[in-house]
Amino acid sequence: MMEQYSHRVRASARFSEEPEILTSHRADHFAAVLAAISAGRKELLRMYRDDQIHDSVLHAIEQELDLEEITVKRFV
């Protein structure tokens, strides 16, 4: 998550200076983030089904993924 926030800070700075540069990369970036969230969700469910993680861990991480997904979808 720190990497994502660092990327956002750098992107915001570049976008404010030269908005046309990042416009083409924006859709690709958010599509990649959504794909990563989806992959993370699938792996999380696999781990839960294989009894590698507890119910509480599943729900806590699902909540984090849900919030991240909502945030990303605001920009798509």
Annotate 9-56 with three-state secondary structure: HHHHHHHHHCHHHHHHHHHHHHHHHHHHHHHHHHHHHHHHHCCCCCHH
Separation CA 59–CA 15 (nearest Å): 36
Residues of 53-67 as b/e, b for ≥16 C-beta within 10 angstroms? Answer: beeeeeeebeeebee
Asked whether the predicted pLDDT for residue 1 surpasses 90, the reply is no
Taking only the tens place, the pLDDT of each residue in 18-50 is: 766 666 677 888 899 999 999 999 999 999 999
Domain residue limits, the chain: 2-73
The residue that leads in pLDDT, 23 or 57, is: 57
